[in-house]
Amino acid sequence: MNIGKPKCGDKIAVWFSCGAASAVAAKITLELYPDCDVKILNSPILEEDKDNRRFLNDVENWLDVKIKIITSDKYPSQSAVEVWDKRKFMSSISGAPCTAELKKYPRQQWEANNKTDWHVLGFTAEEVQRAKRFMITERDNLLPVLINQNISKVSCMEIIANAGIKLPRVYKMGYSNANCIGCVKATSPTYWNLVRRTHPDIFMERAKQSREIGVKLTRVNGQRIYLDELDKDVVGGAIKDHLSECGLFCEESNE
């Protein structure tokens, strides 16, 4: 992707999501553009695994940069569960309200007070189309550093490991990203049964809240069903990475 190059003094916002890809994107941005004003930013979500904070601290030490925490003044708890409860809405084909309220809105607040010439997200070499869609629907000043360097998601994990940093523990549990556990954008029975095995309390919480709100979060044989109707032995396709690093925009996953 050829969209221009930052010049000396440009302000670059790197949106770090506690995943391997955005961590490597931050590292490369700092190395490629030492004469730019680079800010590393993170909007934490309460429902993320607690080990994500350990990973953030390790990445700060690796980058030798303090990561700035950006939160919502409407939801200071940064809780997706609270958003779903207040909005009485969890997910649809157009996305999920948690991303709008806890990712997009804080980013927009920050942007209103901080001029930004470029945005960096963890779009990897496999995600050219997602990056192009982001530029059309969100910001045309995306700086796709990983794509330009042809760095894949697996390569990002290898880079992190070679730096002596342990990946967020959710990767070892079988998750393809470090997003919230029990992400309501996922529809795959494979994903939800993984949540049931690794975090049964969270599975029950999502099942209860989605039933109360009236949202059928999973899909079996092409039909939407409630989580409490999902057989624990049902297996769909392999968990795909459509949810890769929940960030500034949100799309439904058909994993």
Write the pLDDT tens digit of every residue in 233-254.
988 766 654 444 555 544 433 3
pLDDT band for position 214 (50/70/90)?
very high
pLDDT of residue 240: 56
Q: What is the pLDDT of residue 249?
A: 45
Among 226, 248, 253, which residue's Cα sits nearest to residue 100? Answer: 248
Answer for the pair 20, 153: CB distance below 8 angstroms, yes or no. Answer: yes
**Which pTM was predicted?**
0.88
Q: What is the Cα–Cα distance from 55 to 169, expressed in whole angstroms?
A: 9
pLDDT digits (tens, 9 = 90+) for 69-109: 999 999 999 999 999 999 999 998 778 999 999 999 999 99
Paired strand residues for 120: 14
- pLDDT attached to residue 180: 92
> Is 250 in contact with 100 (CB distance < 8 Å)?
yes
Provide the H-helix boundaries in 47-92: 51-63, 80-87
Grouping H, G, I as helix, E, B as strand and the rest as coil, residue 124 is coil
Give yes or no for residue 213 having a pLDDT over 60.
yes
pLDDT at 93: 78
- What is the distance, to the nearest Å, from the Cα of residue 82 to the centroid of all Cα atoms in its chain? 18
Tell me the domains of the chain and their CATH numbers.
Answer: 11-168 (3.40.50.620)
Please state, in angstroms and rounded to a whole number, the distance separating the CA atoms of residues 151 and 166.
Answer: 19
Q: Give dist(CA 175, CA 169) in Å, integer.
A: 9
Q: According to the model, what pLDDT value does residue 176 have?
A: 86
